[in-house]
Structure 1
Amino acid sequence: MRTVIKNEAKYDEFWVRLRGPREVSDDVDMGAAGPLLKDLRPGDVVTVTLWQDYVVAVARDGRSQETADTPLGEPQLATAVGSALLPAGVFTAYAGGRVFTRARRYGERGLPRLLVVHGKAAFGAMLCAVPATIVGDLTGVPLQMVAWLVLLPAVWWFVRRRELRGRGRHAAPALQDR
């Protein structure tokens, strides 16, 4: 085994060269010097954890260090991307379907205000993925989804409230003209 630790101002390198069965004989990026890599010496016997043909952890004497290939945090990221893209896709399908089926009417009268309101709500739902991802990083994917779903009614309430307030402002001059 060979370890490489380079700590330079703009470039860090933390590698361990593993020798053993074909699945684990490779140079592995450890991501950081600690807690284990800094104490490894050539010839040390280590235990390697594999996940889908990737070395995800190296352990020795009860201490373990994750490698740079550890998929930790990926479920939260995938959930965040999905919860951000889902409202965009649903709104796009909804708006596209409405415009397609009512193209002549919308061409004559313009797009209805309802599409704008739903677009704002979809954008707000996409933004809800950000705080939900923070919750997911702290607690896990199930609570990340709960946080996102709890935020959605708040976004809808906010968008509807702003829309109703905006209508009230624009409706008053129209009543005075009559």
Structure 2
Amino acid sequence: MTATVVSTVIKDEVTYEEFSVRLRGPREVSGDVDMGAPGPLLGDLRPGDVVTVTLWQDYAVAVTKDGRSQETADTPLGEPQLVTAVGSALLSVGAFTAYAGGRVVTGARRYGQRGLPRLLVVHGKVAFGAMLCAVPAMIVGDLAGVPLQAVVWLALLPVVWWFVRRREIRGRGRHAAPALQDR
């Protein structure tokens, strides 16, 4: 959609930044648009300039004039990576909760007498590690895209499992040694 530039605001101070353009045009594009940065286009816009505004789901995502374009702060770039990271973390928690809940329900009588098995703690640590793996995977996703992000997250899961199991085995060995010495 086309619109006319009414004014621009470029304030780049230490404590306050504002980079916006006020547009007049059809209802969908009229008003202030946060440009997020002064360039490559905002600094060259003048009142009266006619620009093309690219809309995506009622958001102005880019402003273009004479073949030069600038994305706005409403551009949804990066959101798929964040959604994938949050989904990965929630999947870890959900899978662990379903597993632990199922184990507790099926063995309630036995666990009531003996206590919860150590394996649930181990799986809880693995689930927490899987949640943490979503962060480096999201960083990779920002650079290379969501499919590679998912691959990195899935590739890190066996590493977390190995690391937690290794620490668990070492921990048992450390705690078992004093018990043997007391005999």
Coarse TM-score class (shorter-chain normalised): over 0.9
Aligned pairs for 1:100-111 within 5 A: 100-111=105-116
Gaps of 5+ in 1: none
> Residue 86 of structure 2 aligns to which amino acid in structure 1?
V
Gaps of 5+ in 2: none
Aligned pairs for 1:35-50 within 5 A: 35-50=40-55
Cα distance between partner residues in 1 of 2:9 and 2:124: 52
Q: Which of residues 136, 141, 144 is equivalent to 1:131? A: 136
SS of the equivalent of 1:46 reads strand
Corresponding residue for 1:59?
64
Cα distance between partner residues in 1 of 2:24 and 2:30: 5
Q: Which of residues 138, 146, 168 is equivalent to 2:173? A: 168
> Residue 158 of structure 1 aligns to which amino acid in structure 2?
F
| Superposed displacement of residue 94, structure 1 | 1.2
Q: Does 1:8 align with 2:13?
A: yes
> Residue 71 of structure 1 aligns to which amino acid in structure 2?
P
> Residue 72 of structure 1 aligns to which amino acid in structure 2?
L
Q: Which of residues 130, 140, 149 is equivalent to 1:144? A: 149
Show CA shifts across 1:32-86 (max 9, x none): 1111101100111111110001100001122111111110100000011111111
Q: Which of residues 61, 75, 80 is equivalent to 1:75? A: 80
Taking every aligned residue pair, what percent have the same amino acid on both sides?
84
Query: Could you tell me the TM-score, scaled by structure 1's length?
Result: 0.92
Cα distance between partner residues in 2 of 1:7 and 1:58: 20
Corresponding residue for 1:113?
118
Cα distance between partner residues in 2 of 1:58 and 1:84: 35
Q: What is the number of equivalent residue pairs in this alignment?
A: 178
SS of the equivalent of 1:13 reads strand
| Superposed displacement of residue 104, structure 1 | 2.6
Query: Could you tell me the TM-score, scaled by structure 2's length?
Result: 0.90
SS of the equivalent of 1:170 reads helix
SS of the equivalent of 1:111 reads coil
